[in-house]
Structure 1
Amino acid sequence: MIGMESYSTRMFIQRVLVYVFLVILAVICLLPFYITFVNATRSSMEINQGLSLLPGSSLGKNLVALWGKGKGENLNIFRGLRNSFFVATSATLLGLYVAALAGFGFAFYNFPAKRFLFAVVLGVIMVPAQLGIIGYFQLLSAYHMLDTFWALILPGGANAFAVFFLRQYASSIIDQEMLQAARIEGAGELQIFHWLGLPLLTPGLATMGIFAFVGNWNNYLLPLVVLFSNEKFTVPIIIGQLNTSTYKTDFGMLYLAIALSLLPILIVYSIASRFIIEGISLGALKE
């Protein structure tokens, strides 16, 4: 009896320590976001005076200054949000569909050079995308696609890691017997993919969708290289321009712009976070 009580006490202490550790970890992860939103309500002078965890009273002033930048220097953060949302959503949807189609094919179909092509996919994952930006710029120039949103959307269709992940995920949750049963019922291969494959791949698609959306939303280098018109600038470019003042940087306005850029990501992540957990747990990689 004493041994059982000692064991229960030890387990309780371990559980408390785990919870305390998780709370501390959560605070460490969330604190930068909180400070960003707090600084969005403070003036540049207050921010320069030191760190504060209490909101300020300069939110309206920072918003007016940010709006003035949009009017005076054509750096409209709200237009940038719209551009970023359009580009990130389009590139993510294109990438997910192509990756799901390719991953499904690698998982359940045999075709010439299958192993070689999958090895190419794995090799592409290991190559930094920045290495091909010069060639991509020349390709866009040849097809007169510079300074267009297509220049940012099309690379989203070549998400090698999403192909690898969805191939592994499809192999873990879909049986060949299910596909064969659909064929017996008269379904074509594309019908099987759209009616059977895509619904079952939803958790994995949501998982990859979050990572792809965040990556496309935060993309700075590619828009910087291929976009020239202020009207087409995405949020990272506009924030970078706001931080290059000749005389001084208005940190309150800059933090407000960053806070506004974080809101769509936080909203999308909060909606789809349960799919990330489910997708990672159910889609454990296997060979």
Structure 2
Amino acid sequence: MVQDALGDEVGERLPGGNVGGAWRVGDTVRRTTGPWSPAVHAMLRHLERAGLRCAPRFLGIDALGREALTYLPGQVVDVDSEQLTDAQLTDLAAWTRELHVALVGFDHPGPWRFPGPKAPITLGHNDIAPYNVCFDGDRLTGVFDWDLAGPTTPLLELGHLAWNGVPLYRERPDDEVVRRLRLIAGAYGGVDAREVLHACLERTRLAIDGITAAVAAGDPGMNNLAATTGEPEPTRRRRAALQRRVPRLLRLLDESV
């Protein structure tokens, strides 16, 4: 339902947003909605009740038909020129565990924008990555862009974080990759770094398939992503490069146990 109290000011366009984009109005962020939005809003309401840190609160729908969320202040790491510090990566992986714990007992039929795997075992964010989070120094202060929230598994969430946060999509020294995979697994708890590495390959495959299907179905946001970044071709090439490195990385992970 439209809440006129939220106003109809267009606001200041925020940077980023290859899929949809967002506007800041005062202490709120306004974003366009889609068929998946009611499910996402229900999830955010549940997380607010659960007291999860760093998640935005859903405030309603403004007079322009956009969702209104609380603005999350902090610094976004520029993935083109920087990478998460070890402490930032650790806090983000620990937050991922907190998210999954907070979602225990919550369910929703959807529809969800990201269909997820064939056998999901939890709901999650599905796009936990440096471009969707902000920090105050090494402390996580916000996780935004929940449009892809929906069915997933803990390892797929961690695989996506590893892809973007280690980062595995980019060539990095092997010892650094092994160490940061272990940071993710240790901070989340109950998983092995080798499992996270394998899950990264599965999660990137799902991303490639999902983007391809969404573009074919005419999803405006995914069409914009394809037009501005060329996806999913860059992910397909980088995934192939990672596949060639996996046997070596697995040997190093075994040796460092």
Q: Which bracket does the TM-score occupy, shorter chain normalised?
A: under 0.3
- TM-score of the two chains, using structure 2 as the length reference: 0.26
Higher helix share: 1
- TM-score of the two chains, using structure 1 as the length reference: 0.24
Greater relative contact order (CA < 8 Å, ≥ 6 in sequence):
1
Higher strand share: 2
Larger radius of gyration: 1
